Chain A
Amino acid sequence: MTLATDLAGIRLPTPVLAASGTFGRGTEYAGLTDVEGLGGIISKAVTLRPCAGNPPPRLWETPCGLLNSVGLQNRGVEAFLREDLPELLSWGVPVIVNLAGFSREDYLETARVLRRAEGLSGIELNISCPNVKRGGLQFGAEPRVAAGLVAAVREVIDLPLLVKLSPNVPALGEMAAAVAEAGADGLSLVNTFPAMAVDIRTWRPRLGAVTGGLSGPALRPLAVRAVWEAYKAVDLPILACGGVSSWEDAVEMLLVGARAVAVGTALFREPRTPLMIAQGLKEYLLSKGLANVGQLVGKVLA
């Protein structure tokens, strides 16, 4: 029995990763969890130039969920390679870079810079960030536009390429097919769902950016359905994300077609969540007499 698995050509020691934007460089959680025990780390969004992100407040908690409007705050790809990547790589687990942009040229230029990086395991192309006015979702809303960008990035990058989609896409199967056709090696499902909250005392939005993205357990059933739709539509490995907080949640994602899961919001409460999920998965596989998580992928009786 092994937890090791392959995701779009990336060898993962366990199928439980830390989701983009929630794990920093790993250093922040040192002492709170064994970072070395993760299946991998996905970086915060990296853009060509430094990006200040959105005005505060950036967080608002809802029942079983979290709205955030962090935006693409990062110090740009050069600083990422110089300062963040070495720390991310120091944990000895696969590192995937979340690549974002405000225009097609942004994405491509950043991808070209990333080509220089040593030790990277893959790219997660972020075309689903609800927190920026330009770019982000604009590339992830229409299959034709998304495919165009994916094909162009594919030209530039040899690394395994995952494409991260929004749960808020009307025909997710079509989108998945278009992205697959354009040369993606895998899908990452899902990003946060566009959302909003209002303070009824002041009549003002709770978030400085007015709208944000919903994550956490409240998002999970939407993510389960999205993974299932994509799994039926294309023959690509899927990294599932959205409210995963326990090994039971992870098994559910595997059953609808995921090969691995990423954990975001649950880390904030319990930094050891990914390790606890990996342990739970191990015991589950043993109890079922299964050799690896691959034997669960897409096995939902539907």
Chain B
Amino acid sequence: MRLRAVVEEVRGCGDAALLRVGAPEIAASAAPGQFVHIICGEDSPRVLRRPYSVFSVEGGTLGILLKVTGAGSRWLACRRPGDPLDILGPLGRGYASAAAGEEVALVAGGTGIAPLHFLAVELRREGVGCRLFWGMESASDFGHLPHRLGDLADTRLATMDGTLGAAGTVLDLLGDSGLDGVARAYACGPSAMLKPLHRLCEEAGIPLQVSVEERMACGVGACQGCAVPVVDDPPGYRMACRDGPVFPSVELDWERIE
């Protein structure tokens, strides 16, 4: 679906920004783990849209949590209420849900919180118990956001510099017992986090679904640019934008993922 959406609000969120966008049709059908593809600057030198996970859906409003990492995200973060936004979405396949009464783990690295936040909201509504592990660089990364997740999930935080929660990575935070009693796990973050998490879950026999980040052009499965290595015979690729961005971690060929 393609929309001329309208920016409703842009709020600083620590070093990140939370963008609220009026996009009723997309909001109505978006599922946790899906993403939107946004033009960041008409007449700009940027030929590609930028992919962003859906952070939240409230009525007809989409929430997008973004970190400024370059010119496109900077442009987005500088929008003002009332500004138009050209959005495609919702795109891709999201997370498969859990059964009511189950206890699940959500493991986020940095902005990887975005799809997991949306997922936590949905899972809670469905009566699934969520344990959220979120690792970031520093307390300043996301402002108050980490403190507001308590209602959604049993939240545990880690920062690399020790300014919030435990000092270390989110994997340190999980430790030996973090996944005890967990029926399934969901993750989003850098592959340096996903790789060891995959091994951990495999050893513990816990099914894990991961959302991967790959560079994208079309966003709809037409250009084969966003290839993710999968275990297959012969070894091949799936497309992050269409077959993912969420994959069961056992389907991915972690040996070939950097």
Contact = CB atoms under 8 A, between A and B. Distances in A.
A73 interface: yes
Contacts of A56: 214-215, 226-229, 237
A43 to B, nearest CB: 11
Nearest to B219: A268
A63 B45 contact: yes
Interface in B221-247: 221-229, 234-237, 242
Given A52-B234, A64-B45, A28 B220 contact: yes
Given A31-B1, A32-B220, A58 B47 contact: no
Given A28-B242, A68-B217, A269 B49 contact: yes
Interface string B97-141: 000000000000000000000000000000000000000000000
A228 B47 CA distance: 25
A265 interface: yes
A57 B242 CA distance: 16
Contact of A52 (B220, B228, B235): B235
Contacts, number: 96
A64 B43 CA distance: 10
B54 interface: no
Contacts of B1: 31
B94 to A, nearest CB: 18
Nearest to B242: A28
Taking chain A's interface residues, is the majority helix, strand, or loop, or is none over half, making it mixed?
loop
Given A31-B1, A60-B215, A66-B48, A55 B256 contact: yes
Interface residues of B, number: 31
A164 interface: no
A149 to B, nearest CB: 25
A29 B48 CA distance: 16
B224 A58 contact: yes
B216 A59 contact: yes
Contact of B217 (A29, A32, A59, A73): A59
B217 A52 contact: no
Counting contact residues on chain A (CB < 8 A from B), the size range is 20 to 34
A58 B39 contact: no
A61 B48 contact: yes
A58 B220 contact: no
A101 to B, nearest CB: 18
Q: Among the interface residues B1, B223, B226, B256, which one has the most CB atoms of the partner chain A within 10 A?
A: B223
Contacts of A268: 47-49, 217-219, 223
Given A31-B1, A61-B48, A267 B218 contact: yes
Nearest to B234: A52
A73 B47 contact: no
A70 interface: yes
Contacts of B256: 55
Given A22-B223, A24-B222, A269-B39, A59 B215 contact: yes
15 contacts: A21-B224, A23-B222, A28-B220, A28-B221, A44-B224, A53-B224, A53-B237, A54-B227, A56-B227, A57-B215, A58-B227, A61-B215, A68-B223, A70-B223, A267-B222
Interface of B: 1-2, 39, 45-49, 88, 214-229, 234-237, 242, 256
